[in-house]
Amino acid sequence: MNKILRVIGVLTCWCQIITAYAQDIPIGTWRLHPSFFDVHSIAVTPDKVYAASVNGITIVDLADESISTLTKLDGLSSINITQVAFDQPRNQVLITYVDGNIDIVKGNEIINFNTLKNATTISGSKRINHISIQGSLAYLSTDFGVVVFDLIQLAVKETWRDLSANGTRLKIIQSTFYSDSIFLATERGVLAGKLTDNLLDFNNWTRFDTGVFAGSVQSITTFNGAVHAAINGSGIYKFESPSWILQPYLQAMQYETITAGPNLLVTAQGDLFRVNASGGITPVNSELIFDVNLAFESAAGKLWIGDSGNGLISDYSGVFSVYTPNGPSFTGGFRLQYFELYDLMYAVSGGFSASLTPLGRTEFVNFFLNGAWHANFDVLNHDVTSVHVSPNTLYVASAGYGLQVAQPAVSTLFDESNSPLQNVAAGRNVRVTDIAASDQGIWVTNAGAAQSLHLLKSDNTWESFSFPAVTAARYPTDVEIDYLGNVWMLLNPANGGGILVFNKTSGQSVYITDVTNSGGLPGREVYSIAMDRDGFVWVGTDEGVAYFPDPSAVFRTGLNAVKPVFGNRFLLRDERITAIEVDAGNRKWIGTDNGLWLFDPFGEKQIYNFNAENSPMLSNKVVDLEMNDRTGELFIMTDAGIASFRADATTGEAVFGKIKIFPNPVTSQFNGSVGISGLVTDAIVKITDVSGKLVWQTTANGGTASWNVRDYNGTRAATGIYLVFCITQDGTESLVGKLAVVN
């Protein structure tokens, strides 16, 4: 089958200079960037199709084939969606989650049912694996049993737990109905029970758990008047009481799902097959099909396919088309990188393990431009750890394949065969963990190699460096360059941790640890580093944050980091600091395993603290942070996906040009902050009414100031025209703008 990967917008000339700005969102607001390219559940209603990805729902309106989405930002209660199902009698859609949450979507309302999630009587996993609807009841197959949910009362009617042969916990994978009975696919065979019996009692179930049914049953459905079950490596079995009969088609495969409709749809090993009532097989072929998870066939014979690479695919219009909203091509990720020259925000999936071995990920490099995500199909996609963009050149680092240097006419992959980079284990293990640009060239870290640091110069020649006195220096994970040209390498915690700082010109190097007078870090395990606007070097460890105010002093004896104090204790001393980002106001955004903080320039005053409970963040575990300095939008990569928040700091201008006031006009529906951008760095901003009365005054964070549309007394500004006076700190330049407020 001819397959293509990831139908997502691609810039053909990715190296060209791009000057368009990304679409703005108001200051103080969020947007989510979930991936919709891995659909694992589908529900078809008379007028819409709902397709579930891990963090969002794709909705196709069948009237005009328009596409919309549902995410946590729209009111969904959780992430890690497991199933979606249509309750036709009540015209509502059920959405279930890994954590046991249930959302019911009815019209424009989302009702959350969290009793299962919060149930203290259920230990272990509360994952809901499947939904079957019969009459007024939904039967939820879970990791602990079957929950019978009343769709009228929106309450649990009863729970069938501990259904194994000896009355212990049993994972239920799917359910189906036949005659007066329910059949369950479980991790140990199939259970059948009459719905008129007391199914709370595990003794009242008939068990099929011997032979090939002794293990897990992958999928179960009722087709052509009989129950069918798929068992991986064996085949599809039809129930002819009291026996299960192996069917002659599609045997000994690895199955995803079997789904009943006009035909039996079998998803096996990434491919899709139609099986008719007589056992005839028709493969479903399309160049859009990448790796099928499941499919649904309407009464009219139209297919809706959930694919792991291209999302939602259908022949509803007569030919196969992709119905997938824009988003990254992967969930989660490894590193974010912003390049202001092109206004490009890059996201790569990574990466390497704690032992620095490649993870085997084959996701494409993604970038965000003009409000949309794109994938670059023309460059390396194996365990990508870092990228760098310069005029006409894209550098792509891989944890297994080395370093690719891609230009419009030529692309070179540097590895052990044509460069000093070393392959450090069997297979593809040229472990380039990070790259960083400097005036001297591209610095390249080669983890595990005797020469762990390399410099690729503009003439494509290499220079290599080793640090034999420091064993840990062989295992760098990150590299940053300070304003003096010093190279700061974070060293893998599993191999000794700490930081190695190197200056090529002088040949000096120093190993920084948590030992007093040898760095004095809060902890030896270092996970993040950032250079601030004053040249300070900020470091995040497993025991909080510290900074070095004078990089020129790093090679002197008696070096100790400054540990900021907040709340009468060292800053975030109990947190593992996974990411640090400095905004245009020199404030510090700090990511941890427990959420996101914003502090003032010296880490002594908290401005924000966001987490998955009080914000649209998809997870508390922050993987990386990166700021779009043009717009002030902070991109937050977590282990569950990417969100972004528009803050009130942007890069300042050298002189006043044309200021941008957004939104303008301000309507009664708007309750956020107005952004005033395009300012000279740290400009003074005064807002007056048309009579000249001062309403508000503030100082810009870099090149942006914000106003919450209220006066000094907290009263919302009245309807009218307001003047925005922008003045440099020394008063030598000024600019006036206008803002309309309509209440």
Q: Among 275, 309, 326, which residue terminates a domain? A: 326
As a three-state string, the secondary structure of 247-292 is: CCCCCCCCEEEEEECCCEEEEECCEEEEECCCCCEEEECCCCCCCE
The pLDDT of residue 168 is above 60:
yes
Q: What is the pLDDT of residue 307?
A: 97
The pLDDT of residue 290 is above 80:
yes
Residues 663-720 pLDDT 10s: 999 998 898 899 999 899 899 999 999 888 999 999 999 899 999 999 989 999 999 9
Token pair belonging to 687: 């807002």
Residues 75-114 pLDDT 10s: 999 999 999 999 999 999 999 999 999 999 998 999 999 9
Q: What is the pLDDT of residue 341?
A: 87
Q: What is the pLDDT of residue 732?
A: 81
Residues 565-597 pLDDT 10s: 999 999 999 999 999 999 999 999 999 999 999
Residue 233 counted as domain residue: no
The pLDDT of residue 4 is above 50:
no
Give the CA count within 13 Å in the CB-facing half-sphere of 23. 7
Is 520 in a helix, a strand, or coil? coil
Residues 6 or more apart in contact with residue 71 via CB below 8 angstroms:
32, 34, 55, 56, 57, 616
Q: What is the pLDDT of residue 735?
A: 87
Cis peptide before 242 (omega within 30 of 0): yes
Q: What whole-number distance in Å separates Cα of residue 566 and Cα of residue 157?
A: 50
Residue 666 counted as domain residue: yes
Percent of all residues in the chain with a pLDDT value above 90, rounded to a whole number = 88
Contact (Cβ atoms closer than 8 angstroms) between residue 593 and residue 608? no
Residues 6 or more apart in contact with residue 603 via CB below 8 angstroms:
545, 547, 564, 566, 571, 588
Contact (Cβ atoms closer than 8 angstroms) between residue 430 and residue 422? yes
Q: What whole-number distance in Å separates Cα of residue 466 and Cα of residue 452?
A: 6
Residues 6 or more apart in contact with residue 179 via CB below 8 angstroms:
none
Q: What is the pLDDT of residue 675?
A: 92
Residue 53 pairs in a beta bridge with: 56
The domain containing residue 321 runs over which residues? 36-74+287-326
Mean predicted confidence (pLDDT) in 255-268: 97
CATH assignment at residue 668: 2.60.40.2550
E strands, 602-693, where?
606-610, 622-628, 633-638, 641-646, 649-650, 660-662, 666-667, 674-677, 684-689
Residues 548-568 pLDDT 10s: 999 999 999 999 999 999 999
| 376 CB neighbour count, 10 Å cutoff | 21
Looking at the structure of the chain, the number of domains it has is 2
Q: What is the pLDDT of residue 657?
A: 78
Q: What is the pLDDT of residue 658?
A: 81
Long-range Cβ contact pairs of 588-591 (< 8 A, separation 24 or more): 588/530, 588/532, 588/538, 588/545, 589/625, 589/627, 589/634, 590/540, 590/545, 591/528, 591/622, 591/623, 591/624, 591/625, 591/636
Q: What whole-number distance in Å separates Cα of residue 431 and Cα of residue 425?
A: 9
Cis peptide before 564 (omega within 30 of 0): no
Token pair belonging to 6: 């990831």
H/E segment holding residue 97 = strand 92-97
The pLDDT of residue 340 is above 50:
yes
The pLDDT of residue 372 is above 70:
yes
Kindly provide the b/e burial profile for residues 567-577, where b requires at least 16 CB atoms within 10 angstroms of the residue's own CB: eeebbbbebbb
Q: What whole-number distance in Å separates Cα of residue 345 and Cα of residue 386?
A: 12
Residue 355 counted as domain residue: no
Cis peptide before 301 (omega within 30 of 0): no
Mean predicted confidence (pLDDT) in 278-290: 95
Q: What whole-number distance in Å separates Cα of residue 389 and Cα of residue 340?
A: 10
Q: What whole-number distance in Å separates Cα of residue 228 and Cα of residue 211?
A: 17
Give the CA count within 13 Å in the CB-facing half-sphere of 158. 7
Residues 186-243 pLDDT 10s: 999 999 999 999 999 999 999 999 999 999 999 999 999 999 999 999 999 999 999 9
Residue 732 counted as domain residue: yes
Q: What is the pLDDT of residue 267?
A: 98
Q: Are strands 559-560 and 518-519 parallel, antiparallel or unpaired?
A: parallel
Q: What is the pLDDT of residue 9?
A: 38
Mean predicted lDDT score pLDDT of the chain: 93
Residue 209 backbone zone (phi > 0: left; psi -120 to 50: alpha; other: beta): alpha
Cis peptide before 551 (omega within 30 of 0): no
Give the CA count within 13 Å in the CB-facing half-sphere of 647. 33
Mean predicted confidence (pLDDT) in 647-657: 84
Q: How confident is the model at residue 18 (pLDDT cuts 50, 70, 90)?
A: very low
Residue 646 counted as domain residue: no
Q: What whole-number distance in Å separates Cα of residue 324 and Cα of residue 35?
A: 9
Residue 706 counted as domain residue: yes
Q: How confident is the model at residue 734 (pLDDT cuts 50, 70, 90)?
A: confident
Is 213 in a helix, a strand, or coil? helix
Residues 6 or more apart in contact with residue 625 via CB below 8 angstroms:
336, 579, 580, 581, 589, 591, 596, 634, 635, 636, 637
Q: What is the pLDDT of residue 656?
A: 82
Q: Are strands 701-702 and 649-650 parallel, antiparallel or unpaired?
A: parallel
Q: Among 276, 296, 326, which residue terminates a domain? A: 326
Q: What whole-number distance in Å separates Cα of residue 56 and Cα of residue 699?
A: 39
Q: How confident is the model at residue 655 (pLDDT cuts 50, 70, 90)?
A: confident
Residue 18 DSSP class: -
Is 294 in a helix, a strand, or coil? strand
Q: What is the pLDDT of residue 707?
A: 94
E strands, 370-426, where?
372-376, 384-390, 393-398, 402-406, 411-414
Is 489 in a helix, a strand, or coil? strand
H/E segment holding residue 183 = strand 181-186
Lowest mean pLDDT among 29-38, 511-520, 654-663, 692-701: 654-663
Q: What is the pLDDT of residue 653?
A: 81
